[in-house]
């Protein structure tokens, strides 16, 4: 299984990045692809919900492997016979900076085919959302109520 990943540095502490990432109500304000998201419980391993994206419509999601303050995996099955596992991580880079990353791995009977067809394109789409996250964590992006942070 191939993993397709993008990362960037953020001028914000890892704790601030995590606070935003672990609050899905903020996602539409900094992630240009997310229209809406709802969870059926806390931001924790095993919680399910729904996410609507501009490109793919509404899909069931599940949080997997949530490591508080560090990373989480969001799983969804937007196409037949394949599960897409999106891993989001933050690592401290000193007191006031961090490295943020997102990757996707496609599993299932057709996972390798979808990975070859669209994995790189999906990963290229991580660039704007990581940029949005970096700006939000640095306090330079509008919040979801239209004001500034």
Residue 143 has a pLDDT of: 44
> pLDDT-derived band of residue 141, with 50, 70 and 90 as boundaries?
low
Summarised one tens digit per residue, pLDDT across range 56-104 is 889 999 999 999 999 999 999 988 899 999 999 999 998 899 999 999 9
* C-alpha pair distances (Å), 35 with each of 4, 14, 48, 100: 23, 25, 17, 22
CA separation for the pair 48, 68 (Å, rounded): 17
Instruction: Please name each of the domains of the chain with its CATH number.
Output: 3-137 (3.30.530.20)
Task: Work out the average pLDDT over 102-121.
Answer: 94
Looking at residue 94, its pLDDT comes to: 86
Which pTM does this prediction carry? 0.89
pLDDT > 90: percent of the chain: 86
3-state secondary structure of 8: strand
């Amino acid at each position: 299984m191939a993993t397709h990943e993008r990362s960037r540095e953020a001028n914000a502490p890892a704790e601030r990045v995590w606070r935003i990432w672990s609050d899905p109500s903020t996602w539409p304000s900094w992630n240009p692809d997310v229209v809406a998201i709802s969870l059926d419980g806390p931001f924790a391993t095993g919680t399910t919900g729904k996410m609507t994206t501009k490109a793919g419509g509404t899909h069931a999601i599940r949080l997997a492997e949530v490591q508080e303050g560090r990373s989480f995996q969001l799983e969804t099955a937007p196409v037949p016979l394949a599960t897409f596992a999106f891993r989001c991580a933050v690592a401290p880079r000193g007191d006031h900076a961090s490295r943020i990353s997102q990757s996707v791995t496609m599993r299932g009977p057709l996972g390798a085919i979808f990975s070859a067809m669209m994995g790189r394109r999906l990963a290229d789409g991580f660039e704007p959302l990581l940029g949005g996250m970096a700006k939000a964590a640095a306090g330079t992006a509008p919040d979801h109520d239209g004001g500034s942070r």
